[in-house]
Structure formats: structure tokens, C-alpha cells
Amino acid sequence: MAVTRREWLRSAGVLAGASVIAGKGTARAAGPAASPPAAGSAELFDVPDFERQAQVRLSPMAWEYISEGAADELTLRWNRESYDRLRLRPRALVDVSQLDTRVTLLGRELPFPILLAPTAYHKLAHPDGELATVRGAGAAGATMVLSTMSTVSLEDVAAAATHPLWFQLYVQPDREFTRRLVGRAESAGYQALVVTVDAPVLGARYRELRAHFNLPPGVERANLKGLVTATGAQRATEQSIFSATLDPKVTWKEIDWLRSLTRLPVLLKGVMNPDDAARAVDAGVSGLIVSNHGARNLDTVPATIDALPEVVAKVGGRLPVLVDGGIRRGTSVLKALGLGATAVLIGRPYLYGLAAEGAAGVTRVVNILRREFEMAMALTGRTSIAAIDSSVIWR
């Protein structure tokens, strides 16, 4: 039975202001069973369009949760502004009729260097949650990194995947559970383990506090079933900074332990300091993701694109270095690669696509950024990934 988006939102306990929902979003016929009807897509052309539409479609709580940054949101702003400040240095009169955007990462070829960063709780954005995301990612040919905090189990997501998946791990305080979780990801066919290292605790997230963040009834941490932390907000309080879903005791010892547990390549996500990058090389990991968690944890750390060059220099080509945070344009992808990234990840942009149009919206957001990236390559006279270096940045 088809349900309207309004009915679904009400049953999920996340109904936004009724007058908002009754607007643009109900223009089309009802979608498939248990899905909200698709939003009209004709007006959505670029990522900012999807962002605006997502704000209309999401409940206020989900909007605050997804779009927020920590504290004063200075780093949130810088993540974007630092890309804006970088200017491009084009070459003219280059034959750009053939562009090659393929990149090799961990021994596998990707058709283009944009991946989906791990983000929690996709059912806040769409009733099909991560199943819609993985379908959308697959249709776009993109690799998705599934969060430990997904609202669909890692096995069910893998069963719906048509493209490679990576699994993001939050080491759980229960180490035996963590060991089994890693084993589950490996058995389900995930091809890399992305260990998030920038979240021993969560940051000061006042927008979600003010919006009374909680998981609506029926929405749970599907991978944590069996733990008491599978449901509920699990947030810090005024009395304690700790969250029961995160382990503040994790150190380099756990990285060694994880490497001993799995044959999967281990990447560290959330490395900003070049000294940590050097240590990571010594620890034998397979890659790094320069990330400040989408500016959601420690406010006033630099923009990731400003942190990237020093990390790249320290790593000296021994590992692939990826970057995420603030990428909303194809030109930003070009700038990141120009400053030494092997590939980039996007977080909020595809969540906005998911909220606006479900799986199709995820596909469209990836396609839009991919096309913008290709335009930027053509217009700067760079015909392959290998041809993108620091000379593409105007100094």
C-alpha cells in the first residue's frame, strides 16, 4: 500500500510543520509502498538546491541534526570558505574531448574520485534509510562507506549493494562485540574498514540539543542489536561528556588489535595532525582520511582542505590520503586532488539528496558533483587525474 510522505513522517514521529510538508513536496503521485512520494525534481540542479529542498522535507529535528556543526560552527563555515578562497589556474588550448576520471584506490579502480562518507541514521532522512542510499550510490557507480550507526543492518545493506562498500567502525566499549562486528563486515563483503579516530566523545552540538534529538520509535542502531545502546539518543549530558556508543579509551593499541583481527585494509578517518599521519604510516594502516567530522566535534580546528597539504607532505606518497568536509562543488574536488588527495568523500550533500528524492536523489547529487568535477577538469585543461597537481591552484 502506498503511503503519502505526510503519513510516513507522522508514523515515524518526525512530521515537520504541516504547512511546509503540504508545499512543494507533494507535487507528484505517491511513491512505492512504505516510501514517501518523490519530490518534484525539476527545480533541483545543484547541491545548494538539494540542501534547500532537504530543509523543506526533513523534520526540524532531522534538519538540525544533519546540518549542524559543533559549538559556534566556525569550522563548519571554514570547511566551505577555505575552498572558496582557493582559486583555479586554467590552461587554455588543451584537447579536452576525452577526460579520464578513473582513480585506483586500495588496488581497485573507481570510475571517479568521489565516495560517500559514513553518516549515521539515514532513516531520519528517508523511510528506507541506508537501503535507499546504497541503491542510489550503486546507480551512480559510487563507493559507499556505511556507518556503524546505520539504521539498516550492515548485512541488509550489503545484500542491496551493486558496488563496493566500505565499513566505518566506531570501536565499541564492548571489545568482544567490536570483534564480532568487524567479522560481520568482512563476511558480508565490505572491502575496507574505516576506523573513526576523531570521536572519543562527541562535540558540543547545541542545535540537536535544542531540537531534542532522539531516535524516533522504530529507528535503531541496527548494527548494535544486542547492546543496550541500540536505541535511544545516547548523548552526553550536562553532567558527563561521554556517550555510551563511543569508547574514550581507544589508542594506537586498538589500531594494532584491529589490524590483527581482519584481512581488510584499515583506514583511519579523522586525522588532521601530520604527526598522527606519520604515526599511522608506522602503524601499517592502508590509508588516511583527513576529516574534522564535518565540523561536528571540535570547533575551531582548521578546515580540512587547509590541513590536507601538511598531511600529504608527511605521508610522502606512502599511503593514499583522502579528504572530506565542505565539498559542495566539483571545483572543490579538483582543488582537493590538486593539493594531494587521492579521492574525496561527501557527507551532507548526499543526505540532502536522500531527503529530497530518496535513492534517486543520492544518485543525482553524486552525478551533479561528478559532472561539475569533469567541467572543472575540462575548463582547467586537465584531462586525467594524473594531470591534476598543485599547478591547478592559483598562487
Ligand X SMILES: Cc1cc2nc3c(=O)[nH]c(=O)nc-3n(C[C@H](O)[C@H](O)[C@H](O)COP(=O)(O)O)c2cc1C
Residue 31 is a binding residue for ligand X (CB under 6 A): no
Q: How far apart are alpha carbons 50 and 361 in whole angstroms?
A: 8
Give the one residue of 347, 353, 358, 361 binding ligand X; rule: CB under 6 A.
347
Give the one residue of 324, 340, 376, 377 binding ligand X; rule: CB under 6 A.
324
Residue 215 is a binding residue for ligand X (CB under 6 A): no
Residue from 353, 346, 265, 280 nearest 83 by CA: 346
Residue 196 is a binding residue for ligand X (CB under 6 A): yes
Residue 203 is a binding residue for ligand X (CB under 6 A): no
Taking CB under 6 A as the binding criterion, the range among 10-18, 86-94, 287-295, 375-383 that sits at the site for ligand X is 287-295
Residue 35 is a binding residue for ligand X (CB under 6 A): no
Residue 169 is a binding residue for ligand X (CB under 6 A): no
Yes or no: say if 321 and 311 are a contact pair by the CB < 8 Å rule.
Answer: yes
Grid coordinates given for 348: 551532507
Give the one residue of 138, 203, 287, 325 binding ligand X; rule: CB under 6 A.
325
Residue 119 is a binding residue for ligand X (CB under 6 A): yes
Nearest 10 degrees: CA dihedral of 333, 335, 338, 344? Answer: -30
DSSP string, 259-282: HHH-SS-EEEE----HHHHHHHHH
Residue 258 is a binding residue for ligand X (CB under 6 A): no
Sequence-separated (6 or more) residues with CB below 8 Å from residue 267: 166, 192, 193, 194, 195, 285, 286, 287, 288, 289, 322
Q: Which is nearer to ligand X, 3 or 62 (CB)?
A: 62
Give the one residue of 113, 118, 265, 287 binding ligand X; rule: CB under 6 A.
118
Catalytic residue among 122, 126, 212, 293: 293
122 is catalytic: no
Give the one residue of 35, 143, 153, 168 binding ligand X; rule: CB under 6 A.
168
| Three-state DSSP class for residue 152 | coil
Residue 330 is a binding residue for ligand X (CB under 6 A): no
Yes or no: say if 26 and 6 are a contact pair by the CB < 8 Å rule.
Answer: yes
Residue 294 is a binding residue for ligand X (CB under 6 A): yes
Yes or no: say if 376 and 114 are a contact pair by the CB < 8 Å rule.
Answer: no
Minimum Å gap between C-beta 65 and ligand X is 6
Grid coordinates given for 13: 514521529
Q: How far apart are alpha carbons 362 and 50 in whole angstroms?
A: 10
Residue 5 is a binding residue for ligand X (CB under 6 A): no
Q: Are strands 103-105 and 108-110 parallel, antiparallel or unpaired?
A: antiparallel
Residue 346 is a binding residue for ligand X (CB under 6 A): yes
- Count, residues near ligand X per rule CB under 6 A: 23
Residue 117 is a binding residue for ligand X (CB under 6 A): yes
Q: How far apart are alpha carbons 359 and 375 in whole angstroms?
A: 24
Grid coordinates given for 150: 546505520
Taking CB under 6 A as the binding criterion, the range among 49-57, 107-115, 310-318, 345-353 that sits at the site for ligand X is 345-353
Minimum Å gap between C-beta 233 and ligand X is 14
**Which residue number places its CB atom closest to ligand X?**
347
Q: How far apart are alpha carbons 193 and 169 in whole angstroms?
A: 7
Residues with a catalytic annotation lie at: 293
The residue ranges that bind ligand X (CB under 6 A) are 65-66, 79, 117-120, 147, 149, 168, 196, 269, 291, 293-294, 296, 324-327, 346-348
